Structure 1
Amino acid sequence: MSAVEARLAELGITLPAVATPAGAYIPALQTGNLVFTAGQIPFVDGALPLTGKVGAEVTPEKAKDLARVAALNALAAVESVIGSLDRVTRIVKLVGFVSSAPDFTGQPGVINGASDVLGEIFGDAGRHARSAVGVAVLPLDAPVEVELIVEFA
């Protein structure tokens, strides 16, 4: 068992299968020693567990959990490109989108769900630059979407 696999097991996390693209793109792409993921929504077994806007139909707490799921989906896409998450040397950047009710301003707290799990898995190498952006709507009415830039060796 690899070091990251052992850490995932210790945390009780199983990476999902890579989500099938819903459009004309690929889930992740390597260039040099970086992997860029496409935006990943919080699919669980091929379906969205919740839809709607955060601060209206979806609570910030549930959205935070969904951001964690979306980050794990992004890691699955990274692993599909580089073969093993043990090759990750740094999570460089996380961009999180939150489908927000007009008066909702807690996007950073929601995206902490993604940031936190990356720190839990990778420790200091999981600390990253980040953007947390409120948007009017996301694909399939997903509450959150996450994309990563990951450095590997």
Structure 2
Amino acid sequence: MQEATSSRVEARLAELGLTLPSVAKPVAAYLPALVTGNYVYTSGQLPLINGELPAVGKVGAEVSAEDAKAQAQTCALNALAAIKSVIGDLDRVKRIVKVVGFVASDPSFTGQPAVVNGASEFFGEVLGDAGLHARSAVGVAVLPLDAAVEVEVIAEFE
């Protein structure tokens, strides 16, 4: 059961027609998010929706770049859920510092930055200037569960 919208950030998500999901259960031996100092480091977030991947395979082959971009947004939403799980209130997020996006890519696919824009643009829409961040977009051969996209985040909080 989700809590009532309790923060400015969650109200903004609601305006966008989104709600925070439950934090995805790890698929191996790790924590979804970890606090050190005033920073939260998330583990790689897959585009799970209710525990299921919307599509699997390589971007540029089985998954279109447009669908992968939407999946990157889902990864970012899942990252916000993981961040909230360790700091309690997303209004405490001061800045998204770094986003790393991994894109399972067909060997001929070179549009990784456009795919990871799904996460980057989402953070800007939800958090405004606090969502602007440094970033890497990396093409990889395969991701866990044959996901098309995975996103990890470093966020600073108050």
TM-score, L = length of structure 2 = 0.96
- Provide the C-alpha distance between the structure 2 equivalents of 1:19 and 1:108, rounded to a whole number of angstroms: 25
Matched, 1:70 2:75: yes
- Provide the C-alpha distance between the structure 2 equivalents of 1:19 and 1:81, rounded to a whole number of angstroms: 13
Q: Which amino acid in structure 2 is aligned with residue 71 of structure 1?
A: A
- Provide the C-alpha distance between the structure 1 equivalents of 2:155 and 2:104, rounded to a whole number of angstroms: 24
Q: Which residue of 1 aligns with 2:133?
A: 128
How far off its partner does 1:9 sit?
1.2
- Provide the C-alpha distance between the structure 2 equivalents of 1:2 and 1:51, rounded to a whole number of angstroms: 33
Matched, 1:102 2:104: no
How far off its partner does 1:125 sit?
0.4
- Provide the C-alpha distance between the structure 2 equivalents of 1:2 and 1:107, rounded to a whole number of angstroms: 32
Q: Which amino acid in structure 1 is aligned with residue 108 of structure 2?
A: D
How far off its partner does 1:68 sit?
0.3
Q: What are the superposed Cα offsets for residues 49-83 of structure 1, whole Å, 9 maximum, x if unpaired?
A: 10000000000000000000011011100000000
How far off its partner does 1:6 sit?
1.4
Q: Which runs of 4+ in 1 moved over 2 A?
A: none
SS at the partner of 2:71? helix
Q: Which residue of 2 aligns with 1:48?
A: 53
Matched, 1:30 2:35: yes
Q: Which residue of 2 aligns with 1:84?
A: 89
- Provide the C-alpha distance between the structure 2 equivalents of 1:38 and 1:130, rounded to a whole number of angstroms: 15
- Find 1:111's aligned residue among 116, 121, 124: 116
TM-score, L = length of structure 1 = 0.99
| Structure 1, unaligned runs of 5 or more | none
Percent identical among aligned pairs is 69
- Provide the C-alpha distance between the structure 2 equivalents of 1:108 and 1:18, rounded to a whole number of angstroms: 26
SS at the partner of 1:124? helix
- Provide the C-alpha distance between the structure 1 equivalents of 2:8 and 2:50, rounded to a whole number of angstroms: 26
- Find 2:16's aligned residue among 11, 15, 18: 11
How far off its partner does 1:3 sit?
1.1
SS at the partner of 1:77? helix
